[in-house]
Amino acid sequence: MIIKDFKVNKSCVNEQLILSDEKFPLDMDKRDFIKKVLKGAIAGSLFLVFPMDTTGGGNFDKNSTLKDGISTFDPTIKLPEEIPEIRDRQYDIYKQNFAFIVDITRCIGCGSCCVADKREYNVPDGNYRTWVERYIKDFDDQVYVDCPNGGLDGYQKPRTDIPLNARDTFFVPKLCNMCKEAPCVQVCPVGATFISPDGFILMDSDRCVGCAYCIQACPYSARFLNPITKTAEKCTWCYHRVRKGLLPACVEVCPTGARKFGSLNDENSEVYKILKGPGVLTVLKQSMGTLPALYYMGQRLEVV
Amino acid sequence: MSKHALRIAFVVASVVLMAGVGFVLKAQLIPKSFGLYGPYRADAIDEEAQRVLKHGTNASCFGCHQYEATIHLKGNHKTISCEFCHGTYSDHIKNGKKIANLPVKKGTEITTLCLRCHNTEIKARSTMVIKTVGIQDHLKKQNVKLTHTCNQCHHVHAPLKYINEAKKITGLMEVKP
């Protein structure tokens, strides 16, 4: 019995020895691993040094080119200029002044703007760059707000889950307010979002690390984290369209003219006339001091 | 050279080397256009400006679809975007050539689409802006089957086209008060 036990123990020791012999190549693997990591780090830093050409890679539409700040167009695309004095001339980024006006009294809640926005940017389901809220106010001053699927499917049915003594109902389209004192820009730790000199708050998705700080900072909930790219996204007032002299997609498709966009440098534009005129214009959450460039007409006090 | 001087030379050399490496790394790791307008990459503005257009304008559709344009621009629906009902320009045209046909709405799809705007049950719609109907009431009032779709009476591009024509033919054209 004892001898047998001894043998067993011995074989165990041998096995352990063999195992430790086999561990030696593992150590070699570690070295290889470290070498590979170092090589990878060097290669990666080289990629940083020589960044891949993002403009010539066919990522952008070949029909529209932007060289030296002048946007030119392929004449086969028949797109008339909707914002004057932008196309085919030097874009002076410091001298631009745009405004967006939403006329609540004209909004019928059709959701065209939401559909156009989703199509223009291929916005993932469940996220909205712009959306339309439905407000119902009853005679007890109780306010009911809903927004099924961001207004993408329109409002086909009236609300049945609330008392029927509604006194005022209206739709409120929401989008980025393009604040002059933007909280989202202040909090971004990597400079991925910024106020461009022409007043647009844009995202640099190459630099965004997806920390979602800006999403929490935005008082208007205009931002979201794209579940595919894991970077923050927001309404840009269709900056790419504006720079080509076109209206934003939501303004383009609005059937009632509830959304108005234009340059304040152009004295014939509708927004210039409205802003210069005597009508009452309000902004959302004025007390927060964000100074939005998005104005509302016919806004009720209850809207936040 | 004394040992002391050698040490000082070594320290100075290593500081210079580290500073050099630091400057090189800084120059190469910070994007070229960073700081042109502010603490961000200025090229991001141009990149955003070059995003692919998906929507055109109504005029871009009417460039080819001239027959539809003559109807659409005369009717009450002239402010409606072609692309909202039919789909985006970029799904149809690429580099000046047709790449696909856009779907045309049919049957009850059309009714659903019409009622997105014209449903009177949604009270928030101002009568100053849009004419609304309760679809069932409207069908009953017009003495048609309750299964009728909107486009059986209304031309979708110019809703009163057929109705006005019929009234002209039958002499029932209403005199507006």
Q: Do B53 and A240 touch (CB under 8 A)?
A: yes
pLDDT for the residue A251: 95
Option in B83, B84, B124 nearest A170 (CB): B124
Domain final residue pick, A12, A29, A51:
A51
pLDDT for the residue A24: 43
Which A residues in the span 182-201 are in contact with B, Cβ-Cβ below 8 Å?
A: 191-197
Distance CA A171, CA A184 (A): 26
Do A36 and A107 belong together in one domain? no
Do A45 and A87 belong together in one domain? no
Evaluate whether residue A59 is within a structural domain: no
pLDDT band per the 50, 70, 90 thresholds, residue A42 = low
Selection from A294, A1, A255 nearest residue A111 by Cα: A255
Give me the mean pLDDT over the A67-95 stretch. Answer: 73
Evaluate whether residue A58 is within a structural domain: no
Q: Do A256 and B123 touch (CB under 8 A)?
A: no
Cβ proximity of A133 and A125 under 8 Å: no
A202–B contact, CB cutoff 8 A: yes
Give me the mean pLDDT over the A99-107 stretch. Answer: 95
CA distance B155 to chain A (A): 17
Using the predicted structure, report yes or no on whether residue A18 has a pLDDT greater than 60. no
Evaluate whether residue A228 is within a structural domain: yes
Evaluate whether residue A106 is within a structural domain: yes
Using the predicted structure, report yes or no on whether residue A101 has a pLDDT greater than 60. yes
Do A166 and A101 belong together in one domain? yes
Option in B60, B123, B129 nearest A166 (CB): B123
The DSSP element (H or E) to which A19 belongs, if any, is helix A2-49
Selection from B119, B130, B56 nearest residue A257 by Cα: B130
A63–B contact, CB cutoff 8 A: yes
Do A42 and A164 belong together in one domain? no
Mean pLDDT of chain A: 82
CATH number of the domain to which A158 belongs: 3.30.70.20
Using the predicted structure, report yes or no on whether residue A10 has a pLDDT greater than 60. no
Strands (E), chain B: 93-94, 97-98
Do A8 and A150 belong together in one domain? no
Do A38 and A119 belong together in one domain? no
Do A143 and A272 belong together in one domain? yes
Higher pLDDT, A234 or B175: A234
Evaluate whether residue A131 is within a structural domain: yes
pLDDT for the residue A109: 94
CB contacts of A195 in chain B (<8 Å) are 38
Using the predicted structure, report yes or no on whether residue A103 has a pLDDT greater than 50. yes
Evaluate whether residue A303 is within a structural domain: no
pLDDT band per the 50, 70, 90 thresholds, residue A107 = very high
Using the predicted structure, report yes or no on whether residue A1 has a pLDDT greater than 70. no
DSSP A27: H
Q: Chain B: residue nearest A248 by CA?
A: B55
Rounded-to-10 torsion of CA A212, A218, A221, A225: -20
Do A70 and A100 belong together in one domain? yes
Give me the mean pLDDT over the A112-118 stretch. Answer: 96
CA distance A291 to chain B (A): 20
Cβ proximity of B52 and A60 under 8 Å: yes
Do A36 and A94 belong together in one domain? no
pLDDT in tens, A182-207: 999 999 999 999 999 999 999 999 99
Do A165 and A76 belong together in one domain? yes
Evaluate whether residue A262 is within a structural domain: yes
pLDDT in tens, A244-290: 999 999 999 999 999 999 999 999 999 999 999 998 999 999 999 99
Domain that holds residue A79: 64-297
Segments in chain B below pLDDT 70: 173-177
Do A164 and A98 belong together in one domain? yes
Which A residues in the span 85-144 are in contact with B, Cβ-Cβ below 8 Å?
A: 93, 105-112, 115-116, 119-121, 134-135
Distance CA A199, CA A174 (A): 18
Distance CA A297, CA A275 (A): 10
Selection from A217, A223, A126, A210 nearest residue A174 by Cα: A223
User: B interface mutation test: which of A46, A61, A90 has the most B CBs within 10 A?
Assistant: A61
pLDDT for the residue A124: 95
Evaluate whether residue A56 is within a structural domain: no
Using the predicted structure, report yes or no on whether residue A66 has a pLDDT greater than 60. no
In chain A, the number of structural domains is: 2
